[in-house]
Amino acid sequence: MNEGETLPEPEKGALPLEDVDRLVELLAESGVGEIRIRRGELEITVKAKSEAPAGSPVEPPAALAASQTATPRTEAVQEPDLAEHPVERNGSQHVVRSPVVGTFYRAPAPGEEPYVEVGDRVGAGQTLCIVEAMKLMNEIPADASGEVVEVLVENAKGVEYDQPLFRIRPEG
């Protein structure tokens, strides 16, 4: 809970929606399970929905890794099964997908700072990364504004068309 934040006195009998919104935000940001506020006769409780264990990274498609063992069966494993993708579990997140095939770079050039880190707020149109194809550095823009929740690909790894690159929690 953000210390020092005060909420305006609610009108008698009114349900201040903006305040509830703010409570929900605070809940998500802080990661606590429940916030309860009482003011006079009004009590508001906001509880977090129980989520699947956080922190399990999305596995990048194995398509681009050449198999180490020569098996006669094919190993055409590509796009992660969408049903298992975290987007399904948390519908308020937006996935930025690669519009080109190429190599994913987090920074404009070697040795420079990455364009974005987890936690950064980005605006729609802001460059998130580069995907290089045939020596062309394609700057990939965010197609939604919000907070970068997860970077889904390792630096300098190959990406396919439509491969998920970033998860963004949309705002505004």
Partner 1 sequence: MISKVLVANRGEVALRVIRACREIGIRSVAVYSTADMDSLHRLLADEAICIGPPQAAGSYLNIPAVISAAELSGADAIHPGYGFLAENARFAEICEACNIKFLGPASSVIACMGDKATARRVAAAADVPITPGSDGPCRSSAEVRRIGAEVGYPLVIKASAGGGGKGMRVVHAEDEVEAAYVSASREAGAAFGDGSLYAERYMEELRHIEVQIVADGRGRMAIFPERDCSIQRRYQKLVEETPAPELPEEAREGMKTAAAALVGSLGYEGAGTIEFVYSGGEFYFIEMNTRLQVEHPVTEMVTDVDLVAEQIAVASGEGLSVAGNVPSRGHAMEFRINAEDPRRNFLPQTGPVEFYNPPGGPGVRVDSHLYAGFKVTPYYDSLLAKLIVHARTREAALRRGARALDEFAVAGLETTLPLHLAILEDEDFRRGGVPTTFLAERELKSDGRGLLRLSTAGRSSPPS
Interaction site with partner 1 (CB under 8 A): 63-64, 66-67, 74-76, 78-79, 100-103, 133-134, 136, 158, 160-163
In the complex, least distance from residue 61 CB atom to partner 1, rounded to whole angstroms: 9
Which CB atom, from 117 or from 162, has the smaller least distance to partner 1? 162
In the complex, least distance from residue 133 CB atom to partner 1, rounded to whole angstroms: 4
- Closest Cα to residue 159, out of 60, 57, 56, 58? 60
Tokens of 68: 């180490």
Which CB atom, from 38 or from 73, has the smaller least distance to partner 1? 73
Q: How far is CA 92 from CA 22, 38, 139, in A?
A: 16, 28, 25
d(CA 23, CA 2): 10
Q: Tokens 């009590």 belong to which residue?
A: 43
In the complex, least distance from residue 135 CB atom to partner 1, rounded to whole angstroms: 10
